[in-house]
Amino acid sequence: MKLKQGIIIVDEITTGLGRTGKWFGYNHFNLKPDIVVLGKSLGNGYPVSAVIIDNWMIKKNEESGFMHYQSHQNDPLGCKIAEGVLNEIREENLVQNSKELGFLFLNILKEELEPISSIEDIRGIGLLIGIQVKPDIKVEDIYNNLAKKGIIIGISITYNMLNIVPPYTMDKELIPTIAGKIKESIFETITN
């Protein structure tokens, strides 16, 4: 039986450039992707994206004669902004900062929230943290309670999950306060 070769494409739009405490999320696994897709954090607010392609794929593509163009391909402004963002991440050691802040944040959240019976799971890697709530509690209600306290996070209704994705430069002194407000919002939701 002849095995066909496949390619591995990794979407690092959310997890790339330090979010997980390593440069790329796939760095946490024994994986060598053929294509890596980047965006969002690459432009730090400016709309820019990139595709990193393994050399063997570039060669194969060139041999095939395939061409692809888009309106903002090779945009010099986007490239300069991405270069500046990458330099800032490197110079400010933000990948390591993300790892350390995420570890601290996750541990404080676990300490505060694990005793609450409505919490199903608390997990995270770097500054990508999720709090899964049992199905009888609506994450939208927790979200709304948090927003009233000035804390904006993400939610996944499908998984009944609170998504905490703070900035890499977050002041670590704020973490206990934010964790406390999350705990308050969960209790307010449970008791209403």
**Boundary-marking domain end, from 61, 91, 121:** 91
Q: Alpha-carbon distance 78 to 3, whole Å?
A: 40
User: Do 106 and 179 contact (CB within 8 A), yes or no?
Assistant: no
Residue 2 pLDDT level (bands cut at 50, 70, 90): low
Q: Which residues pair with 129 in a beta bridge?
A: 124, 164
- Looking at the fold, whether 58 and 83 belong to one and the same domain comes out as yes
Instruction: Give me the domain span that covers residue 172.
Output: 94-191
d(CA 146, CA 49): 31
Strand partners, 173: none
**Total structural domains within the chain:** 2
Pairing of strands 9-11, 35-38: parallel
Residue 58, classed as helix, strand or coil, is helix
Domain assignment present for residue 155? The answer is yes
Examine residue 1 and state whether it is found in any structural domain, yes or no. Answer: no
Over pLDDT 70: what percentage of the chain?
97
Mark whether 87 and 98 lie in a shared domain: no
pTM of the model: 0.88
> Tens of pLDDT along 8-40?
999 999 999 999 999 999 999 999 999 999 999
Q: What is the pLDDT of residues 146-189, one digit of tens each?
A: 999 999 999 999 999 999 999 999 999 999 999 999 999 999 99
Give the pLDDT of residue 4.
Answer: 65
Q: What is the pLDDT of residue 107?
A: 98
CATH number of the domain enclosing 150: 3.90.1150.10
My answer on whether 63 and 101 are in the same domain is no
Q: Are residues 20 and 86 in the same domain?
A: yes
Region of residue 40 (left: phi > 0; alpha: psi -120 to 50; beta: else): left
